[in-house]
Chains A and B, each alone.
Chain A
Amino acid sequence: MASAKRECCPDCGSMELINNICIREGEPIKVFVQCSKCGSFVARYTVDCYTSNKRYESLLQFVSKRCFESGRITSKRLKSFDEDIMKEFEHCKQQIKESEEDKRIEEIISESEEER
């Protein structure tokens, strides 16, 4: 099952959000999402792999933390890294358009963990 949902402020319901990115040495990157209208705390994400629109640079970050056994596997992974991100982005936008999830994000996460 795949779910998609746009995040909004739990206090005022605004969709205008700011990502405050916190990078501390030796720790995973953390993103603190803040409502740009009322300033409330919305959520915190811990980033496993950051990818920007400069995808090759993000890819270099991704591979630098991994060991690869073979050139063939690396080639395949690198090719799919780029394609998958854009495909998933389009798919996510489409899913939100067609059937955006009504439940709260915590509920969606907990349901998907139960399914696993």
Chain B
Amino acid sequence: MSKRSVILGVTGILIVGIVVYNLPISIPYAQKVTLSIFTIAALLWMTEIIPLHATAFVIVLLETLFLRDFPIGTFFHSFFEPVIIIFLGGFVLAAAFQKYGVDSILARVILSKTPPTPFAILLSVMFITAVLSMWISNTATTALMIGVLIPVLRELEDKRFKKGLILSIPFAANVGGIATPIGTPPNAIAIGILAKNGVDISFLKWMELGLPISIFGIIMISILLYLIFKPTAHKLFIPLPPKAPLKANQKQVIAVGILTILLWLTGPLHGYSSAVVALIPIVIFFGFGYLRREDFNSIGWDILMLVGGGLALGTAMQQTGLSSWIVSQIDPTRFGIIWLVVIFTSVTLIFTTFMSNSATANLLIPLMVSLSVSPLILSIVVAVSSSFAMALPISTPPNAIAYGSGEIKVKDMAAVGVLIEIIALLFMVFAGQYLIKFLIGGL
């Protein structure tokens, strides 16, 4: 986009923000300003005129400029919340896994033990992708797994099954991210915003909820892909390079990874916050030279800032009482919980099909926490649903990468993606909400 278009677009959006501020609504000044900031942020995130993380800074700039009754720390603290540190720890762990090839070793080990039948390979590929994307970014996992499978894809003559195999990777990466707090930004956004509202969800607690949903997603998608892209051959071989013994530094990286994950999972036993545990890989990997300054610079700071911006927006909406006001206009008590789950899962799925799932979570979760009906359940429903939107190449970065292979068409992705979204909606209505209520609470 040219600079001129950016300036015009941003100016237009700021004018909309000013119009919203001047609407004849009888709410206090702080709420009007926040409503205007919310509108500007929503439009900037939907149109992506400026980078998503730049919008995060626009939010904080407008908040500190116009909400002067609040100490500036109220909004700045959002960028260093414990959940940001947990995510940073996850990024550092992932950077070390990638740099020392731990991710690709795991992928090759599991694939080498997979029976050579098409369904076993499909399921195995999806399983490995999901496991990796719990700890490593969905984008990096997709790139790695497609890279591992390229020799197979090149040799595979069954074009229909080839499509299924390629699609299985981004879909598994998207769904695998649900399993851990660091798997995908919407999880962190939900945890961060809920924490600000007095609901602490530990690493283990999130996994107790996220892991079964991920497993359900993997099984459901693998069956769908197998049925839609049914293979013609009964056997499929994956050529893998010969196994090399683990080197000392790879063993050390794995040890630090296992230690960090164990400490994250045993939080209730030792009593240390997951954010404190997240500092361990950061200190060890940078302190002892496993990772260098270039690695530090290439960490996903833009994602961290995007999450921080979402938390800052949520803070303003809570502190000014705007989210309560918006929710009072909807009057959620008119609907039963089932209809609320249907409505907000559908809204999330539609939004995230066309825009970033982090931005969607940033906009919707602050509203969910203010609902008078099941705010906790609905916040998590939004976070989880945002990982199920995968109908188009633009829906998620992993989809875009798989589409870039040139082996699949938009209609192939959409055919399965829409089915997945419908099943996800049904799952949320008939199982997901009860699972959240059972595991985390019915608030």
Contacts and interface: CB of A to CB of B under 8 A. Distances in A.
Q: Do A and B truly interact?
A: yes
A65 B295 CA distance: 9
A45 interface: no
A17 to B, nearest CB: 27
Interface residues of A, number: 23
A64 B140 contact: yes
Interface string A35-51: 00000000000000000
A103 to B, nearest CB: 29
Given A56-B405, A66-B139, A67-B302, A74 B400 contact: yes
Contacts of B139: 63-64, 66-68, 74
Contacts of A71: 356, 392-397, 399-400
Contacts of B142: 63
Contacts of B100: 25-26
Given A26-B249, A71-B356, A65 B98 contact: yes
A65 B136 CA distance: 11
**B interface bracket (residues with beta carbon within 8 Å of A):** 35 or more
B404 interface: yes
B147 A57 contact: yes
Given A57-B150, A60-B143, A67 B137 contact: yes
Interface string B127-152: 00000000001011011101100100
A78 B52 contact: no
A61 interface: yes
A64 B144 contact: yes
Contact of A67 (B144, B303, B355, B394): B303
* Chain B contact surface mostly: helix
Nearest to A73: B48
Nearest to B352: A71
B410 to A, nearest CB: 11
B406 interface: yes
A61 B299 CA distance: 16
Contacts of A59: 404
Nearest to A26: B99
A28 interface: yes
Contacts of A104: none
Interface string A69-108: 1111111001100000000000000000000000000000
Contact of B394 (A28, A61, A72): A72
A76 B247 CA distance: 38
Contacts of A72: 48, 355-356, 394
B433 interface: no
A64 B396 CA distance: 15
B296 to A, nearest CB: 13
A63 B141 CA distance: 10
A67 B400 contact: no
Of the listed residues B51, B146, B294, B406, the one surrounded by the most CB atoms of chain A closer than 10 A to its CB is B146
Interface of B: 48, 51-53, 91, 98-101, 137, 139-140, 142-144, 146-147, 150, 247, 249, 290, 292, 294, 298-300, 302-303, 306, 355-356, 358-359, 392-397, 399-401, 403-406
**Which 10 residue pairs across A and B have the least CB separation, nearest first?**
A67-B300, A70-B356, A64-B143, A68-B397, A74-B400, A74-B397, A71-B394, A75-B400, A60-B143, A69-B52
Given A25-B249, A78-B401, 10 more contacts: A25-B247, A26-B99, A63-B140, A63-B401, A67-B91, A67-B302, A68-B400, A69-B51, A71-B393, A73-B51
Interface of A: 25-26, 28, 56-57, 59-61, 63-75, 78-79
23 contacts: A25-B100, A25-B249, A26-B99, A26-B249, A60-B143, A63-B143, A64-B98, A64-B144, A65-B140, A66-B298, A67-B137, A67-B139, A67-B299, A68-B139, A68-B400, A69-B52, A71-B393, A71-B394, A73-B51, A74-B401, A75-B404, A78-B401, A79-B404
